[in-house]
Amino acid sequence: MNEMTKIAAQPAYSENAQRVLRREPALFINGDWVASSHDKNIPVYDPSTGRQISSVVDASDADVDRAVAAARIAFDDGRWSGLAPYARERLISRLADLIERDTDELAELESIDNGKPTSSSGGYDIPRAVATLRYMAGWATKIAGQTIEPALFPTGTFHSYVRREPIGVAAQIVPWNYPFMMAVQKIAPALAAGCTLVLKPAEQTSVSALRLADLIAEAGFPAGVVNIVTGLGETAGDRLVRHPDVDKIAFTGSTEVGKIINRAATDTLKRVTLELGGKSPVIVLPDVDIEKTAAGAARSIFSNSGQVCIAGSRLFAHRDIFDRLLEAIAQNAGQWKVGPSLAPDTMMGPLVSTEQRERVMDYIDQGRKAGASILAGGDAPGGDGYFVNPTILIDVNPEMSVVREEIFGPVLTAQRYDDLHAVAKAANDTAYGLSASIWTRDISAMHRLAGKIKAGMVWGNVPTAPDVSLPFGGYKQSGFGRENGTFGIEAYTEVKTVSILL
């Protein structure tokens, strides 16, 4: 263990955070905090220390049914979809204001629960959630249909138009890597479109979603419009996605669970959007500024301890610059201060759970056994927290599990290439297709390569740049449907054609 990996103690939680963590486990259903129908809880751990710090409800089938019933009634009686769109916009904006007011508190809770540094939760996750709500609030008043002249009848025979109507009750299931931001990214477009919903956060990280429920109540949303139910995926999540009164499922999580959900939704042909895993390539051409590109490549894989679906986990560097670039990335990796989430100088926190750390260490081991060399990291600091050091693997080949499978940790694999055709082929040699980044000053090569990459998002000269106005989603086994922007709103609407003989 070197100096960099000596883990400091987790600073004390604020009084306020302690108060929130001491609350009795409860569910937010029909505008109220209610007890579960059974007596099962899920422990909440601080990944920086491995200590249990709270509990949340492990919802029963009856709890899930109750939440769906509340959302169903709230949708069917029009208390939300029937409001003036401007009233919906105002409430969504009000929620954004309340979240902004409580940024520090929410950031602390998110960091305690997930392990991410407060610089990330307070500087990115919570502000992004606020921006998403404000952007989506604006859509509430701008969802529009079309008037169309039928092609097969004399003009003026019909008045034909197309309406966009809210789908109904949405079941929204989110993962643990950006718990609050993902929860808000799910509820914002659904609310703007006029849907009601049941949100299920990940069992590892439910604390901030429960605070979100407090703010929803404070903002004054009508009862039953937003219901938040904590619980395990295989039980509460499964009940939710199979529920006949759910019209739409929006899921972010692993490809494996995405497939299960898609199958479960088939019986009632629910509308489904899936944001799943990735194994995104970072392609570096020989003309780049080495230092800047190395810093970008490191950010792309080490931010959020690599627990990012759009992490740049497969680096492809042109043979002429491979050694220099990798040396610079390794140097950069050494500067990532690994530490507990609440320490102000932490750049990389622990992984979310002991299972996740084991999984990542197991992948590193598989890589080593298959012949990969470790250029940086490859080890985990001691202590009780779930830390893994920033890791770079070279001498890898496309058959290795570290290259093929999503590790969801701070592990970069790096390969050489000789020409653009070969690198496009290698980059596309994956079951995933979420994102890619391309680094070059040659704009023509950038565009040519962007056209060849089979992924839902391509970024140039930047590690990642998701934005609430730009479609977010993947090709192939990275899912289907898109979040954000117009696409994100339309995903919560049905299209109705009305044709009236005049």
Rounded least distance, CB 76 to ligand NAD, Å: 24
Q: How far is the C-alpha of 337 from the C-alpha of 333, rounded, in Å?
A: 9
Is 166 among the residues that bind ligand NAD (CB under 6 A)?
no
Torsion of CA 480, 485, 491, 493, to 10 degrees: -170
Is 461 among the residues that bind ligand NAD (CB under 6 A)?
no
Residue 8 carries which DSSP code? P
Is 276 among the residues that bind ligand NAD (CB under 6 A)?
yes
Is 179 among the residues that bind ligand NAD (CB under 6 A)?
no
Q: What do you get for the CA distance between the two ends of the chain, in Å?
A: 81
Q: Which is nearer to ligand NAD, 261 or 427 (CB)?
A: 261
Alpha helical stretches, state H, 405-478: 420-427, 443-452
Give me the 112-141 binding string for ligand NAD, x by CB under 6 A, dash otherwise: ------------------------------
Rounded least distance, CB 341 to ligand NAD, Å: 18
CA-based nearest residue to 62, from 280, 231, 203, 271: 231
Rounded least distance, CB 466 to ligand NAD, Å: 9
Rounded least distance, CB 241 to ligand NAD, Å: 5
Q: Which is nearer to ligand NAD, 301 or 326 (CB)?
A: 301
Residue 476 carries which DSSP code? G
Q: How far is the C-alpha of 191 from the C-alpha of 95, rounded, in Å?
A: 11
Give me the 354-393 binding string for ligand NAD, x by CB under 6 A, dash otherwise: ----------------------------------------
From the candidates 108, 110, 275, 406, give the one annotated as an active-site residue.
275
Q: Which is nearer to ligand NAD, 177 or 437 (CB)?
A: 177
Look up residue 133 and give its two tokens: 């709500």
Strands lying side by side in the sheet with 493-501 = 146-147, 158-166, 493-501
> Are 257 and 282 spatial neighbours (Cβ–Cβ below 8 Å)?
no
Find all residues with CB under 8 Å of 72, minimum gap 6, and list them. Answer: 169, 196, 245
Q: How far is the C-alpha of 178 from the C-alpha of 126, rounded, in Å?
A: 10
Give me the 303-342 binding string for ligand NAD, x by CB under 6 A, dash otherwise: ------x---------------------------------
Phi, psi of 317 (to 5 degrees): -115, 140
Q: How far is the C-alpha of 417 from the C-alpha of 283, rounded, in Å?
A: 9
Q: Is 195 a catalytic residue?
A: no
Rounded least distance, CB 445 to ligand NAD, Å: 27
Kindly indicate which of the ranges 94-102, 200-208, 282-290, 324-332 contains the residues binding ligand NAD, using the contact rule CB under 6 A: 200-208
CA-based nearest residue to 189, from 107, 134, 241, 110: 134
Rounded least distance, CB 256 to ligand NAD, Å: 7
SS3 content of the chain, % helix, strand, coil (to 5): 40, 20, 40
> Are 337 and 120 spatial neighbours (Cβ–Cβ below 8 Å)?
no
Q: How far is the C-alpha of 469 from the C-alpha of 277, rounded, in Å?
A: 21
Is 408 among the residues that bind ligand NAD (CB under 6 A)?
yes
Q: Which is nearer to ligand NAD, 112 or 261 (CB)?
A: 261
Q: Which is nearer to ligand NAD, 45 or 176 (CB)?
A: 176
Rounded least distance, CB 137 to ligand NAD, Å: 22
Is 433 among the residues that bind ligand NAD (CB under 6 A)?
no
Question: Where along the sequence are the contacts to ligand NAD (CB under 6 A)?
Answer: 173-177, 200, 202-203, 233-234, 237-238, 241, 252-254, 257, 260-261, 275-278, 309, 406, 408, 434, 479
Active site residues: 275, 309
